Amino acid sequence: MGREYPAGPKINFLLALIGQMLPKLFPFDPLAFALENARQFGDIAYYRVGPLRVYQLNSPELIRQVLVEHPETFHKPLFVKRGFGPFVGNGLFTSDGDLWKRQRKLIQPAFNHTQIGRYADIMVNHALRLADSFQDGEVREINADMVRLTLGVVVKSLFGADFTRQAQDISALMMAA
């Protein structure tokens, strides 16, 4: 008998790929749509994106089990390690087991309640600065704006630096990557 999987949205891989490669010609993003709609399937939603099997956890309790209570039982897919490793290194996003535990313990102080409040202030300030730059009737490349916003928040939060002048060049490189 076949393997049973949790319920989840259906994704047309070809349409998802076209939507990612040609967003101006095909503005609908099936993958973003699936991620958003997967919540309606309960605590665990399952879907496939081409050859990838995705289990989306929609419950804070289940996410805690995976990331805090039993991280040794859950491993990053090989495609994440191979695909992102050369770009982001062997950090929290790509590591497993003891290495992941050591890295998590090292970064944990950066996420205490006081620090989270500071990060929120940084996020608000950067978002307001971006919103103030909008002009009525202006057409903007929102993906580039969001990359610059995210990088600005991350750089300020982690390193205390403001890289507004370099944001355009760095965000262009990030978009290309």
Pull the structure tokens for residue 134: 């909008």
Beta-bridge partner residues of 57? 44
pLDDT for res 108 = 86
Beta-bridge partner residues of 48? 53
Instruction: Write down the number of H helices and E strands in the chain.
Output: 8, 2
Pull the structure tokens for residue 145: 């704006």
| Burial class for 3, CB neighbours closer than 10 Å (0-12, 13-18, 19+) | exposed
pTM score, whole prediction:
0.53
pLDDT for res 19 = 63
* One pLDDT digit (tens) per residue for the chain, 177 residues: 567 888 877 776 666 666 666 666 656 565 666 677 788 888 998 887 777 788 888 899 999 998 888 888 888 888 888 888 887 888 888 898 888 889 988 988 888 888 888 999 999 999 999 999 999 999 998 888 888 888 888 888 878 877 766 666 766 666 566
pLDDT for res 26 = 59
Spatial contact of 9 and 58, defined as CB atoms under 8 Å apart: no
pLDDT for res 123 = 94
Spatial contact of 30 and 10, defined as CB atoms under 8 Å apart: no
CA distance 39 to 47: 12
Spatial contact of 125 and 87, defined as CB atoms under 8 Å apart: no
Spatial contact of 20 and 35, defined as CB atoms under 8 Å apart: no
